[in-house]
Amino acid sequence: MVDLRATQAHLVQVTMNIPDASAGTEIQIPTWNCLYQIRDFVKNVQDMKDDCDGQPAELNREDLNTWRGPNRSCSDLAFHYSVYAAADGPFDSMLDGHHSFLNLAMILFYLPRERNRPVYVKFHVPAGWKLASCLEGEGDEFQAANYDALVDSPVEAGHFEDFAYTQGFIPTGASAADIKRATIRLIIDADRADYSPGRILSSIQKITTEETTLMQDLPFHRYTFVLHFPRDGGSTGGMEHRDGAAIAIPASALHDNEGYLESIVAHEFFHAWNVKRIRPQSLEPVDYINGNDTRDLWLCEGVTNAYAQLVLLRADLLDRNTFYARVAGAMEILQSRNGRRFQSAETSGREAWLEKYSDYNRSQRSISYYNKGELLGYLLDLGVRHASQNLAGLDDVMRRLNQDFARRGRFYTFADFRSIITQLAPTFDTNRFFEDYVQGTRELDYLTYLGYAGLLLATHVAELPLPGFSATRNSVGLLQVDSVDDGSAAQRAGLEPGDVLISADGDPLPAGPNPTLPSWRPTQTVELRIVREGKTHVLRFRIGVNRQISFQIEEDPQARPEQLRVREGWLKGATNSSSGNR
Ligand SMILES: [Zn+2]
Ligand SMILES: [Zn+2]
CATH code for the domain in which residue 50 is found: 2.60.40.3650
Domain boundary among 140, 158, 176: 158
175: left (phi over 0), alpha (psi -120 to 50) or beta: beta
Nearest ligand to the C-alpha atom of residue 349: 2
Nearest-angstrom CA–CA distance, 245 and 223: 8
The number of angstroms, rounded, from the C-alpha of 528 to the middle of its chain's C-alpha atoms is 44
The number of angstroms, rounded, from the C-alpha of 407 to the middle of its chain's C-alpha atoms is 24
Q: Report yes or no on 238 lying in a domain.
A: yes
Q: 378: closest CA among 425, 426, 433, 318? A: 433
Nearest-angstrom CA–CA distance, 76 and 17: 6
158: left (phi over 0), alpha (psi -120 to 50) or beta: left
- Cβ 455 vs Cβ 568: under 8 Å: no
Nearest-angstrom CA–CA distance, 313 and 147: 38
pLDDT at 51 over 70: yes
Q: What is the pLDDT of residue 560?
A: 98
Indicate whether 52 and 135 sit together in one domain: yes
Nearest ligand to the C-alpha atom of residue 155: 1
pLDDT by residue (tens digit) across 547-564? 889 999 999 999 999 999
Q: How many CB atoms lie within 10 A of CB 93?
A: 25
Beta-bridge partner residues of 473: 479
Task: Report helix, strand or coil for 237.
Answer: strand
Which string of b and e fits 61-87 if b means at least 16 CB within 10 Å? eeeebbbbbbeeebeebbbebbbbbeb
Indicate whether 171 and 240 sit together in one domain: yes
Distance, CA 183 to ligand 1 centroid (Å)?
Answer: 21
Indicate whether 44 and 54 sit together in one domain: yes
Domain boundary among 234, 265, 296: 265
How many residues appear in the chain? 582
User: In 236-373, where do the E strands start and end?
Assistant: 237-241, 244-248
Domain count, the chain: 4
Distance, CA 134 to ligand 2 centroid (Å)?
Answer: 18
267: left (phi over 0), alpha (psi -120 to 50) or beta: alpha
Averaged pLDDT of the chain: 95
Q: Which residues contact 207 (CB under 8 A, 6 or more apart)?
A: 262, 265, 266, 269, 311, 312, 315, 317
Indicate whether 421 and 490 sit together in one domain: no
Nearest ligand to the C-alpha atom of residue 188: 1
Distance, CA 99 to ligand 1 centroid (Å)?
Answer: 5
pLDDT by residue (tens digit) across 280-333? 999 999 999 999 999 999 999 999 999 999 999 999 999 999 999 999 999 999
Q: How many CB atoms lie within 10 A of CB 411?
A: 15
Alpha helices in 216-282 (DSSP H): 251-256, 260-270
Q: Report yes or no on 462 lying in a domain.
A: no
pLDDT by residue (tens digit) across 178-198? 899 999 999 999 999 999 999
Q: Report residue 252's pLDDT band, with 50, 70 and 90 as the boundaries.
A: very high
- What's the first-to-final CA gap in the chain, in angstroms? 46
Distance, CA 479 to ligand 2 centroid (Å)?
Answer: 42
Nearest ligand to the C-alpha atom of residue 305: 2
Indicate whether 229 and 304 sit together in one domain: no
Q: Which residues contact 279 (CB under 8 A, 6 or more apart)?
A: 405, 406, 411, 412
Long-range contacts of 499-504 (CB under 8 A, 24+ apart): 499/530, 499/531, 499/532, 499/537, 500/474, 500/530, 500/531, 500/532, 501/471, 501/528, 501/529, 501/530, 502/529, 502/530, 502/531, 502/536, 503/528, 503/529, 504/528, 504/529
Task: Report helix, strand or coil for 490.
Answer: helix
Q: 227: closest CA among 257, 194, 256, 258? A: 194
Nearest ligand to the C-alpha atom of residue 248: 1
334: left (phi over 0), alpha (psi -120 to 50) or beta: alpha
Mean pLDDT of 25-43: 97
Q: Report yes or no on 135 lying in a domain.
A: yes
- Whole-model pTM: value is 0.90
Which amino acid would we find at residue 229?
Answer: F
The CATH number linked to 204 is 1.10.390.10
Indicate whether 446 and 577 sit together in one domain: yes
pLDDT by residue (tens digit) across 320-373? 999 999 999 999 999 999 999 999 999 999 999 999 998 999 999 999 999 999
Indicate whether 164 and 151 sit together in one domain: no
Task: Report helix, strand or coil for 342.
Answer: coil
Q: Report yes or no on 130 lying in a domain.
A: yes
Q: What is the pLDDT of residue 579?
A: 46
Q: What is the pLDDT of residue 258?
A: 81
Distance, CA 98 to ligand 1 centroid (Å)?
Answer: 8
Domain boundary among 103, 128, 158: 158
Indicate whether 393 and 416 sit together in one domain: yes
Q: 540: closest CA among 494, 497, 496? A: 494
Q: What is the pLDDT of residue 512?
A: 63
Indicate whether 294 and 234 sit together in one domain: no
Q: Report residue 513's pLDDT band, with 50, 70 and 90 as the boundaries.
A: low
Distance, CA 276 to ligand 2 centroid (Å)?
Answer: 10
Q: Report yes or no on 547 lying in a domain.
A: no
Question: Pairing between strand 244-248 and 222-228?
Answer: parallel
Q: Report yes or no on 497 lying in a domain.
A: yes
Mean pLDDT of 31-45: 97
Nearest-angstrom CA–CA distance, 119 and 143: 6
Q: What is the pLDDT of residue 476?
A: 83
Torsion, CA 480, CA 485, CA 491, CA 495, rounded to 10: 0
The CATH number linked to 518 is 2.30.42.10
Residue 497 sits in which domain range?
468-542
Indicate whether 532 and 566 sit together in one domain: no
Least confident range of 223-227, 390-394, 480-484: 480-484
Q: Which 8-state DSSP code applies to residue 529?
A: E
Distance, CA 158 to ligand 1 centroid (Å)?
Answer: 6
Nearest ligand to the C-alpha atom of residue 373: 2
Distance, CA 81 to ligand 2 centroid (Å)?
Answer: 32
Nearest ligand to the C-alpha atom of residue 36: 2
Q: Report yes or no on 39 lying in a domain.
A: yes
Distance, CA 96 to ligand 1 centroid (Å)?
Answer: 10
Indicate whether 130 and 257 sit together in one domain: no
Q: Report residue 511's pLDDT band, with 50, 70 and 90 as the boundaries.
A: low
pLDDT by residue (tens digit) across 118-144? 999 999 999 999 999 999 888 899 999
Q: 383: closest CA among 324, 445, 327? A: 445
Distance, CA 226 to ligand 1 centroid (Å)?
Answer: 8
The number of angstroms, rounded, from the C-alpha of 381 to the middle of its chain's C-alpha atoms is 22
Q: 83: closest CA among 45, 129, 28? A: 45
Which amino acid would we find at residue 71?
Answer: N
Mean pLDDT of 62-85: 98
Q: Report yes or no on 198 lying in a domain.
A: yes
Indicate whether 122 and 245 sit together in one domain: no
